[in-house]
Structure 1
Amino acid sequence: MFASRCILIVGVSLVLSGLAKCESLSAKQEADIVKFISHEILIYDVHDEATLNKCLVKLTALLRPYMRYGIKTWNVPVLEPMFLKSVRILTPETQLKAHFKDVLIYGLSKFKVNYIKTYPEKYTFDFSLQFPDLKLLGYYNLDGQILIMKLKDHGPFTANITNVEAIVKNKFEVTNGVLLLKEVNTDFTFDKFRFHLDNLFQGSEVGETVNESLNQQVDVLLKELKPGFVKEINKIVVQTLQKGLQNLPLKKWQAAIRK
């Protein structure tokens, strides 16, 4: 056991040293990483709620160095940058149609875990992640009313978000001896959000004035745009956790349930 673990650790150390020079994982590197992480979780002693929490914290810490590259075996998406093909938003109250496409999000791989809290008997767990700075690049297409302004424009956009906290609540069910996600709810807060819509009013001074006005009322604006982005983020969370949890032995979770 000890010798095999040492071999795994050495192998993963070599993988880490090689990652500094590459932008993606080779099939061999990914296989070594998956084998190592699976082994570490398998031997982790879980016997109550506290140790289950620590096990999930350890799993996150083991995954973190590789999440910027993505892990195909476990459906972990590439985090640096993360790519959102399309986000569509329709607000019936203002008849605003917003389409954001080819969105790149930079900074997700630099997250910090605030907490992971499990409720073993209920098969639920919550976690909170902190992101110091996020940068978004992409294209927008707006048609409708934002605040009190009617807009119909399209073009590139950029956004910078500071000190983002993402709070995710998850509920599972057991199917055929495997943990499966049943429900995911995501919310996020931030300290500062600033964006720029290029080509607004054909890039005129009016467009710059409107950009500034929208930034001054960003909290109101995000109430309209936030649900669409949360929906896409939920899809990514489900995609990532669903496969990952299938690799967390059910007996680990059930060992934390009070007898």
Structure 2
Amino acid sequence: MIDKTSPSAAAAVADIPDGASLAVGGFGLSGNPIALITALLEQGTRDLSIVSNNCGVDDWGLGVLLNAKRIRKMTSSYVGENKEFERQFLSGELELELTPQGTLAEKMRAGGAGIAAFYTQTGVGTQVAEGGLPRKYDGQGGIAVASPEKDVRRFAPGGVHNDYVLEEAIVTDFALVHAVRGDTHGNLVFAKSARNFNPLAAMAGKICIAQVEELVAPGDLDPDHIHLPGVYVHRIVEVGPDIEKRIERRTVTVADALSHDIPEGA
């Protein structure tokens, strides 16, 4: 029997070295593997290249690694909720490979499926395909690193001719993900929007480390309810159901605001 359980988040990430590449799950602040991120912060790992839909916020999610200047490069589709991210990028401290969201998802899935690259219509006719997007600034307003031009070919699926741009798959050294339940074999179940990027990040990592709110014995999960098979997961650690979860923006009605003494518009 294969038991993939790690005794703690610290033990699970202990061998992630400086300079490693990571695929990290999460969509906004939903499904962030915060216990693993915090353990990585505490052990001092730096110079990381991270692939994730976004980089958290200034004091949560991947933002805690960013604030500690542990991240060298981000590959993301959305970076608009983090002021420190903006500052580091524009000052030339951080490299950014901005990638269309669906393309980013497929790049990770392809990496996990053993597909080296694929063609997509997304980005054709833009700087995504033509190159020249700033990836790193020189700190003086100039571009130090720009995105390269990508191969564009014409295909006719269904008899309709269109241009498609070549996108390479993503494979990282490690993956960090969060699931609501898992068993000791590594089979995972995700809750709601946490399912958006966590399974794909898990697939992309050569070594996948999962934190789960509830760890159960093999056979306790209904096979029809498993979202990611354990073949993709190498280590699993239980963090409990009370682990802190955040949302980016709380929106309430005027009536709710008044009943809770919340200023209108807050």
Give the structure-2-normalised TM-score: 0.25
Q: Greater relative contact order (Cα 8 A, min sep 6): structure 1 or 2? A: 2
**More helix, by proportion:** 1
Q: Which has the larger radius of gyration?
A: 1
**More strand, by proportion:** 1
Give the structure-1-normalised TM-score: 0.25
